[in-house]
Structure 1
Amino acid sequence: MNGIAEHKEPPQARTPGAYRAQPGEYVFNFSKVNQILGGPDYSPVFGGCVEGDRMIVALMTAPAGKQSEPHSHPNEQWIFVLEGVMEILVEGQRHTAHPGELIYIPANTVHCGCTPSGKDAKFFTVKDASHSLHGIKVRP
């Protein structure tokens, strides 16, 4: 060693625009972190996203009457509905989730969703950090 401290750049977020937790940071305010699209080329959902070493979390809003296009992602996903109603289509099966209900999307599973009630839905989502928050749109 030459006695000079090395300056390391903090790790970058896997998800474009997401906030990457830095050493010594333990509390985050979703309304103050970058607001990003949950799936820029296939979904209208938006909100704050924070990434750690092994987990990605986001507090998202699904606009009323809007629908995402079919997509998948190589990481599994959990979606906890906080407000509103979400309809999801997972591998061709339709499900409806209400506040307090939890949705599980296995890795590499084609799915899409909408908010049919005329009211925005708000949900908290968690994914493992093997891939970004964004998925991959199914191409016809």
Structure 2
Amino acid sequence: MSTATQERSRIQYVYNLDDLFRVPEGPLSCKVAPSKLLSGDTLATGKSSTVGPVLTGTHVHVAWVVKPRGTGSKLHTHPNEQFNYVLRGTLIADLDGQVLRVPAGHVVHIPAGMVHSHVASPEEDVLFIAVKDTRHGIVGPAVDGKHNGPRTLPGFGSNKDNEWRLGPDGLPLPQSPRVSRDKVRYVYNWEELDKVPEGPCSAKVTPRAYVSKKSSSFGAALTGDKVHVGLIHKARGSGSKLHTHPNEQFNLVLQGTLHGDIDGQTVLVPKHHAIHMPAGVVHSMVAGGDEDVLFFVAKDTRHGLAGPPVDGIEDGPRFLPGFGPKR
């Protein structure tokens, strides 16, 4: 095979989340839906204002999306679970008979089948990562069966039927049905996950710790029925040894640059890029030498959060030259 043919057949594993306005050329590790309105061809014919690209693997959808301020999704449901991690702004969630604020740095978990709605607060647009399992698509139908535009806060929409009424405290009134007997936690602050929160939780919480003995990855994770999500830190110049696992993985970089070794390719994964690791593919991720890396990870639950090293020896992280322990 010629060098040119080899280059054309190389699989793309890294995706620029800020520039996915068309499907990239060549072989791809996952399905790419370019940035667009996720529900309906227009605002008036959908049920949500959410816009952005979607990456779909065999078991996990990952979306990098925006809701304009004061707008969001009508009450809806879907047979797959969902995690939304807010990067900028505040989501107002209506689920399980509660209205909950989800500010930047927080994640909200919506179990499969639960009626819910999310609207961006009036102060600013909301940027968030949405993760779902692939039992269903990225969008679920409106509860009232009408795709007649997004839900809006007062003063932000033209369809009064979709306006979310406010209560005396200025917060919207809950309209989702109450399904739990006890008050369940659905919103999690990553900065507070040094221990398991008290009371009933919608997802299993793995408190902040090192993920394995063959990696420098440190962080907390949430595990639902079909999806793990986590917020992970790698110290500069350090990372994971070559390893594999029988579940797929997406890493979305929020700070710094990951240096990847995947399927025999060397790749760079800078800020606001995602790397997809299909199940069973041998890979390693190391933080660049300039700064620590912070990334959001999504995996399906066919396996746990960590996979075994290829050499079978858990003897510490992989390092860039000059960053390992001094001998």
TM-score (ref. length: structure 2): 0.35
Q: Which residue is 2:275 aligned to? A: 103
Q: Find 1:35's aligned residue among 197, 205, 208.
A: 208
Q: CA deviation at 1:67?
A: 3.0
Confirm or deny: 8 A CA contact 2:256 2:288 kept in the other structure.
Answer: no
* RMSD across aligned positions (CA): 1.7
Distance 1:74 1:61 in 2: 23
Q: Which has the higher contact order (CA 8 A, sep 6+)?
A: 1
Q: Which residue is 2:33 aligned to? A: none
Q: Which runs of 5+ in 2 are unaligned?
A: 1-108, 112-179, 194-206, 313-327
Give per-residue Cα distances to partners, 1:23-75, cap 9 Å, x unaligned.
7321111122211222x121101011111111100000011111311001110
- Which protein has the larger Cα radius of gyration, Structure 1 or Structure 2? 2
Give per-residue Cα distances to partners, 1:83-105, cap 9 Å, x unaligned.
00111000110000111101000
Which is richer in strand? 1
Identity over aligned pairs, percent: 31
Q: Which runs of 5+ in 1 are unaligned?
A: 1-20
TM-score (ref. length: structure 1): 0.79
Amino acid at match of 2:192: K
Confirm or deny: 8 A CA contact 1:41 1:137 kept in the other structure.
Answer: no
Q: CA deviation at 1:118?
A: 2.5
The residue correspondences of 1:52-131 to structure 2 (distance < 5 A) are 52-131=224-303
**Range moving further from structure 2, 71-80 or 27-36:** 27-36
Q: Which residue is 1:6 aligned to? A: none
Q: Which residue is 1:8 aligned to? A: none
Which is richer in helix? 2
Distance 1:75 1:30 in 2: 23
Distance 1:32 1:88 in 2: 30
Amino acid at match of 1:122: L
Q: Which residue is 2:21 aligned to? A: none
